[in-house]
Amino acid sequence: MATIDWVFLCDYAFVDAAGKASIIGVFENVNAPTLPIHFPQMYVALGMKLGPGDNLELSSVLSSPTGKEVARINPQRIVFPPNAPSGGKAFFAFGFYGAQISETGEHHIEIFVNGNCIHSIPLNVSIIKS
C-alpha cells in the first residue's frame, strides 16, 4: 500500500533520471495585491513509500474555500516494479498550470491515489493592502 512520507507546494520541482527530487521555492501562503491572481505554474512535490508491485493512479485537485474546483491534475499511472524492495521510496512532481485564484481564504490541494483522497495541503490566499 502506498503512503506519503512528505509533500511540498512550491514554485518548481522535478525528479531527475537518477530519481533524485529537486524542490524550488516552497510556500503555503499567497499574498496578492488584487484578485483574481493568475499562477502560470505551481508544483506539488511528494515522496512516497511503495510496495513491490504497487500499481496506482496519482491525481490532484486544487479547490477554493467555497469548494469550487480551480485546477486539476489528471490521473497518472504509477507502477512500482514487482522485484523492488518492500518499503521502496519514490519521488513525484506535478504542476498546476494556469490556475486562476479568485477567492481569499484557505484553499486545498487534495492528493488522490486510485481516486481516494489520501492527503490535503492548505494554500492560504490573502490580499495585501499597499
Give the C-alpha separation, 115 to 117, whole Å.
7
User: What number of other Cβ atoms are within 10 A of residue 93's Cβ?
Assistant: 17
* DSSP class of 129: P
What are the pLDDT tens digits along the chain (130 aa)?
Answer: 678 999 999 999 999 888 889 999 999 999 999 999 999 999 999 999 887 777 889 999 999 999 999 999 999 888 776 666 656 788 899 999 999 999 999 999 999 999 999 999 999 999 998 6
Report how far residue 50's alpha carbon sits from residue 38's, in angstroms, rounded to the nearest whole number. Answer: 35
Report the C-alpha gap between 71 and 100 in whole angstroms: 8
Match 479568485 to its residue by C-alpha cell.
Answer: 102
Question: CATH number for the 3-127 domain, one of 3.50.50.60, 3.40.640.10, 3.30.479.10, 2.60.40.2550?
Answer: 2.60.40.2550
Note if the pTM is more than 0.85. Answer: yes
Distance separating alpha carbons of residues 75 and 65, to the nearest angstrom: 23
